[in-house]
């Protein structure tokens, strides 16, 4: 809690015993209750619970946020003591905290220096580029600087500030729409075409789509009642995890794929089943190099493909030989030229045959 001291013109932050006790008790009790439930499940069955991965992600995200908050408190204590030469009290006889270790997962986030002798950096928002031992590398414009990590205060990211700006949703307004229940009921009943489920970069949000139908539903997992959560967990067992995420904040438009060798066919079948029109563009996984490529989809057909110096079926075959690629689908983009005229099924068979022949020839040449 903060207020303005009229005499000193300072914004003072209060952390009372009541505040700390309430937060600590609520957090510890909720975490232990959840963990205990999972431990009991483990004693009754060797099968992993349906929502295990979701819970693990939540615990890990909480640890990261709490680490940053704790590190900021430690930095504030040290900075204020050093500036005004205030000695530690008797209650503070514990070893100095490892601030750098807490900030390892904060790389890439905005930071500010609590104190510095470099005028150019004083009061500037910087980027935490690296944490190395007790030191950190910060970026300001195109320049990099070294600094002790225990001088860094982690600032809220744009996403975190956006959350602060949004008023909490009332419980009754957070309930999923009837269409969400309909989606899951149809999948549970085994109706075709299948429903596909996408997770955004926020693990607490998913989007549900039915192949061949326009307009999906973005759903907060926390808003789902237990019965719909059970249906969603069951639905995930029967759907492809091909679509990993959609780049925020455009969860409703673009798709992001991470594909192994030959899995491009699955992505194209998905897009044509969804009757999408747009371009699927390749991007290589970290550390991998290769020629850029793209595949244009027009409704239920693939109309054009490019990869390196090739186009048409050959370009698609080349992409099918790649070990791992990342691809983003941009909705509504049309091809500048049509180089593919066959049906999707025929195209994929022909491209797969060419890809097999190319890989066989490459093995002989090695």
Model confidence at 172, pLDDT cuts 50, 70, 90, reads very low
The confidence band for 292, taking pLDDT boundaries of 50, 70 and 90, is confident
The SS3 assignment for 289 reads coil
- In degrees and rounded to multiples of 5, residue 218 shows phi and psi of -85, 125
Distance CA 307, CA 30 (A): 52
Least confidently predicted of 65-69, 128-132, 173-177? 173-177
Neighbouring C-alpha atoms within 13 Å toward the C-beta of 84: 6
Residue 354 burial (10 A CB sphere; 0-12, 13-18, 19+): middle
Contact predicate 250/218, CB 8 Å: no
Please, what sign has the CA dihedral across residues 42, 43, 45, 50? Answer: negative
Q: Is 326 exposed, middle or buried (0-12, 13-18, 19+ CB in 10 A)?
A: middle
Please compute the mean of the pLDDT values over residues 105-126 and round it to a whole number.
Answer: 90
Question: Which pLDDT score, from 0 to 100, does residue 76 have?
Answer: 87
**pLDDT at residue 194 in the model:** 52
* Per-residue pLDDT at 190: 62
What values do phi and psi take at 279, rounded to 5? -125, 135
Angle at 324 between CA 319 and CA 330, to 5 degrees: 65
Average pLDDT, whole number, for the chain? 77
Categorize the per-residue pLDDT at 301 as very low, low, confident or very high, splitting at 50, 70 and 90. Answer: very high
Strands of 152-154's sheet, edge to edge?
A: 143-148, 135-140, 126-132, 110-113, 152-154
| pLDDT category of residue 217 using cuts at 50, 70 and 90 | confident
pLDDT band at residue 248, thresholds of 50, 70 and 90? very low
Question: Residue range 253-261: average pLDDT?
Answer: 69
Which range, of 61-75, 76-90, 285-299, averages the lowest pLDDT? 285-299
In terms of Cα–Cα distance, which of 257, 275, 267, 269 is closest to 346? 269
Three-state DSSP class for residue 17:
helix
Q: For 87-91, 221-225, 259-263, which range has the lowest pLDDT when averaged over its residues?
A: 87-91
Q: How far is CA 253 from the centre of its chain?
A: 16
Give pLDDT, residue 269.
82
pLDDT of residue 220: 75
| pTM given for the model | 0.49
Whether 328 contacts 312, CB under 8 Å: no
Mean pLDDT of 297-310: 92
d(CA 243, CA 198): 6
Rounded to an integer, the average pLDDT of 201-214 is: 62
Give the Cα separation of 20 and 73 in Å (integer).
14
Report how far residue 361's alpha carbon sits from residue 157's, in angstroms, rounded to the nearest whole number: 50
Residue 129 burial class via C-beta count within 10 angstroms: exposed 0-12, middle 13-18, buried 19 and up: middle
Sign of CA dihedral 116, 119, 121, 122: positive
List the one residue out of 27, 156, 158, 154 whose CA is nearest residue 102: 154
Q: Which runs of consecutive H residues, i.e. helices, occur in the chain?
A: 17-44, 52-84, 99-102, 158-165, 178-188, 226-237, 264-273, 312-320, 344-365
Using the CB atoms, write b or e for 78-92: b if 16+ within 10 Å: bbeeeeeeeeeeeee
3-state SS class at 143: strand
Output the pLDDT for position 23. 78
Q: Contact at 8 Å (CB) between 203 and 20?
A: no
- Given a cut of 80, whether residue 239 has pLDDT beyond it is no
Mean pLDDT of 302-312: 93
- Picking from 151, 123, 121, the residue whose alpha carbon sits closest to that of residue 136 is 151
Mean pLDDT of all residues in 263-280 = 82
Q: What is the mean pLDDT of residues 50-59?
A: 78
């Amino acid at each position: 809690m903060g207020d303005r001291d009229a005499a000193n013109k300072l914004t003072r932050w209060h952390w009372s015993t009541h505040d700390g006790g309430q937060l600590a008790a609520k957090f510890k009790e909720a975490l232990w209750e959840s963990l205990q439930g999972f431990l009991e499940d483990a004693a009754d069955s060797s099968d992993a619970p349906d929502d295990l991965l979701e819970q693990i992600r939540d615990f890990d995200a909480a640890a990261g946020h709490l680490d940053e908050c704790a590190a900021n408190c430690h930095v504030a204590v040290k900075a204020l003591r050093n500036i005004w030469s205030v000695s530690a009290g008797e209650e503070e006889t514990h070893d100095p905290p490892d601030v750098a270790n807490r900030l390892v997962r904060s790389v890439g986030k905005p930071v500010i220096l609590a104190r510095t002798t470099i005028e150019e950096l004083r009061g500037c928002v910087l980027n935490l580029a690296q944490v190395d031992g007790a030191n950190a590398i910060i970026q300001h414009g195109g320049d990099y600087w070294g600094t002790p990590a225990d001088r860094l205060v982690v600032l809220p990211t744009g996403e975190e500030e956006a959350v602060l700006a949004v008023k909490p949703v009332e419980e009754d307004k957070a309930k999923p729409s009837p269409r969400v229940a309909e989606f899951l009921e149809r999948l549970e009943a085994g109706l075709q075409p299948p429903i596909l489920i996408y997770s955004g970069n926020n693990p607490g949000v998913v989007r549900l789509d039915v192949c061949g139908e326009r307009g999906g539903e973005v759903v907060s997992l926390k808003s789902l009642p237990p019965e719909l959560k059970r249906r969603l967990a069951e639905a995930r067992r029967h759907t492809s995890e091909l679509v990993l995420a959609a780049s925020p904040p455009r969860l409703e438009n673009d798709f992001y794929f991470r594909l192994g060798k030959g899995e491009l066919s699955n992505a194209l079948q998905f897009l044509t089943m969804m009757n999408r029109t747009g371009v699927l563009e390749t991007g290589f996984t970290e550390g991998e190099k290769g020629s850029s490529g793209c595949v244009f989809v027009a409704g239920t057909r693939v109309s054009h493909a490019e990869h390196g110096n090739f186009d048409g079926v050959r370009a698609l075959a080349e992409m099918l030989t790649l070990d791992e690629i990342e691809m983003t689908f941009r909705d509504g983009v049309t091809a500048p030229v049509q180089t593919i005229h066959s049906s999707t099924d025929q195209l994929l068979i022909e491209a797969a045959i060419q890809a097999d022949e190319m890989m066989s020839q490459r093995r002989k040449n090695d």
